[in-house]
Amino acid sequence: MTYRVCFVCTGNICRSPMAESVFRARVEEAGLDGLVEIDSAGTGGWHEGEAADPRTVSVLDEHGYGTDHTARRFQPSWFGRLDLVIALDAGHLKALHRLAPTEEDARKVRLLRAYDPAIGGDDLDVPDPYYGGRDGFEECLEMVEAASTGLLAAVREQLEGRAA
């Protein structure tokens, strides 16, 4: 049975496609690509139909990640088919909780950086790099990579629980 993860940011052109690409690579490296489906979306539809931001694509390419992405808006009906909805910041977390049709669906929503074992404190947001320079996209990638290892371990644990 496929485990489905969707990363969500604001417009689905910077942070969430970056997280989708990095996590897809981690899943493939772990040999789980046939068991885990990875997707991304935005809380808003401003960029629907557009490719990922060129700075996102450039940073991903430089670090060996590919991306073939078309932005879209997260739909509440998706909760029924998803196992985990990963928010990139607290604003997305709140928006997704509001969209969740049921309490069970709301429990599927988590912040990405909650999976980074090195994080201490309450600041779990991945800052939006859109209005800044390239260094913000590099910082975003570092945060996404750091959390992806812990996320992969959590997903692996869920898969093993299903198989038991």
Rounded Cα distance, 161 and 78, in Å: 23
pLDDT one-digit tens code per residue, 81-118 = 999 999 999 999 999 999 999 999 999 999 999 999 89
pLDDT one-digit tens code per residue, 20-72 = 999 999 999 999 999 999 999 999 999 999 999 999 999 999 999 988 999 99
What structural domains and CATH numbers belong to the chain?
3-163 (3.40.50.2300)
List, by residue number, the catalytic residues: 9, 15, 128
AA letter at 8:
V
Say if pTM beats, i.e. exceeds, 0.85: yes
